[in-house]
Amino acid sequence: MTSFHAAPKGVVDINERQVITPEQVDLAEKLKNEANVFFKERKYDDAIRLYTEAIELNPSVPAYYCNRALAYINTEAFGYAIADADKALNLEPGFVKGYYRRATANMALLRLKESVRDFRMVVKRVPKDADARKKLTECEKMHRRIEFEKAIEFDEEGRSVADQIDLPSMTVDDSYDGPRLATENGHGVIDKAFVDALLTRFRDQKAIHRKYAYQIILEAKKMFTEQPSLVDITIPEEARLTVCGDVHGQLFDFLNIFDLNGYPSPTNWYLFNGDFVDRGSFSLEIILILFAYKWLYPNSVYLARGNHETNNMNKVYGFEGEVKAKFSETMFKLFAETFNALPLGHLIQEKIFVVHGGLFSRDNVSLDEIRQINRFMQPPTEGLMCEILWSDPQPLPGRRPSKRGTGIEFGPDVTENFLNHNNLDLLIRSHEVKDEGYVIEHNGKCVTVFSAPNYCDRMDNLGAYIHITHDRKVSYHTFKAVPHPNNVKPMQYASQFSQFGL
């Protein structure tokens, strides 16, 4: 099909039934070129804005949709990227980049059948494209692996990995020079000295003995299992709670939060609101530190599940590969069981609702419903648990399908309804990179906090955390990224196709 924008005297857009003048064609092309500059500078929101303006002027150019789709992919708006690829292919069914973008977005969502189908189309149309062939091979391999693992999961159903860990058989050699847990009555006992030594050990990029790693995970799993799906937090007068968003395996930025804000203690409380792992390449160290602090200060440290504390995300974005490289597949399976036990949300001082993603596809969801969610599973693709982990706010009223392809987007009226229905004052959530580390939306009722500055070494964003006191005073604090070892890059343990298009 000939691209409509090549016509010299104005064209008729077949979808919009409008005449597009030569001036509109020229201006749209200019906007597209300006958007490309923003894209190269990694200013993806600006690029999306200009691509959108170009499309509004001349909606007949498949490349505009595909360019915007790539910008959406870089902001993890995979649902929007798929919609743009569909539009490009509707305009020009043979447009190779349309198949390529749709394959990439579907792959990020682990819709692997659809991704394989589109990559095969790319390879068919451009048989000499070595990159496309490589990505097709990776996608097919991942698809086979996931199908195989589904089959063996059925055979292993009901068998807990935690019950199979034999701690007494794990001996710690005298040559081990790292921190050691004390033992009382045959059980490991944690203290502040151990956790302090753990932090130093990890700053130095050294490992701890597998026995101690297993003990930390098992103790954390036991604690989380005993908690409800929605945990109530009551801050005493002498304490302060700090709420942090995604930290995503960025160990040195994570430790900088403690350097700036103080280490966890009986008076310096923390709530980490999901997405501890994946992306960054020190996810294992972060999760072991958080679990160790939970064990040390069970009433001062709180953790919520994010959408990346799930098997599918971990297979693609690095945590599974990292744990297997540093320890073993068995340890990863134990982490997966432990993630299933993580609470889904927290209620602070009876008035502040905190979840990783956001709100729901229907009105009048009650806190009691959330408390009753059976969370001990991999998250479903719809329903309350899915939406808690995946949803995002939008500026306009109402609801619409998520830009991510999972969950929903909810407007200020939805936030207002939920808070009023449950006699709440504020929603705090994470899940999205923000340039300033946090953003306040929905008439001050919805706050997003993100705590991984310069996300993946490429976004130049600040990190942020939130202070909340006994009398519900809320304050916001931002911080910059700090240096980290150059020998370890983000996504070092991620699967190959997790980086396609990024």
Q: CATH number for the domain including 14?
A: 1.25.40.10
104-153 residue pLDDT tens: 999 888 899 999 999 999 999 999 999 899 989 989 988 888 888 777 76
pTM: 0.92
- Confirm whether 266 is domain-assigned: yes
Pair 319, 405 in one domain: yes
- Confirm whether 419 is domain-assigned: yes
Pair 131, 269 in one domain: no
Instruction: Give yes or no for residue 154 having a pLDDT over 60.
Output: no
Pair 142, 262 in one domain: no
304-339 residue pLDDT tens: 999 999 999 999 899 999 999 999 999 999 999 999
Rounded CA separation 306/154 (Å): 25
Q: Of the candidates 102, 118, 153, which is a domain's last residue?
A: 153
Residue reference for tokens 């994570």: 254
Pair 184, 235 in one domain: yes
Pair 319, 395 in one domain: yes
- Confirm whether 474 is domain-assigned: yes
Q: Of the candidates 134, 153, 172, which is a domain's last residue?
A: 153
Rounded to whole angstroms, what are the CA distances from 87 to 28, 91, 97, 126, 475?
Answer: 17, 6, 12, 21, 43
Predicted local distance difference test score (pLDDT) of residue 151: 75
Q: What are phi and psi of 208, to 5 degrees?
A: -100, 165
- Confirm whether 161 is domain-assigned: no
Per-residue DSSP letter, 87: H
Confidence of residue 6 (pLDDT cuts 50, 70, 90): very low
Q: Span 229-237, mean pLDDT? A: 98
- Cβ-based neighbours of 314, under 8 Å, separated by 6 or more: 277, 278, 308, 320, 332, 336
* Range with lowest mean pLDDT among 31-35, 154-158, 353-357: 154-158
Pair 188, 62 in one domain: no
Residues belonging to the chain: 502
Q: Span 163-181, mean pLDDT? A: 96
Instruction: Give yes or no for residue 419 having a pLDDT over 70.
Output: yes
Residue reference for tokens 């939008």: 394
- Please indicate whether residue 421 is annotated as part of the active site: no
Number of domains in the chain: 2
- Confirm whether 342 is domain-assigned: yes
Catalytic residue among 308, 346, 356, 431: 308
Structure tokens at 434: 């923000």
- Confirm whether 53 is domain-assigned: yes
- Confirm whether 308 is domain-assigned: yes
Predicted local distance difference test score (pLDDT) of residue 11: 44
Pair 15, 72 in one domain: yes
Q: Of the candidates 153, 168, 201, which is a domain's last residue?
A: 153
Pair 87, 234 in one domain: no
Q: Span 45-68, mean pLDDT? A: 97
Q: CATH number for the domain including 362?
A: 3.60.21.10
Element (H, E) at 392: strand 392-393
- Confirm whether 159 is domain-assigned: no
Q: Span 447-457, mean pLDDT? A: 97
Rounded CA separation 416/450 (Å): 22
Confidence of residue 248 (pLDDT cuts 50, 70, 90): very high
Rounded CA separation 374/396 (Å): 32
Q: Which domain holds residue 256?
A: 180-499
- Cβ-based neighbours of 141, under 8 Å, separated by 6 or more: none
Pair 204, 256 in one domain: yes
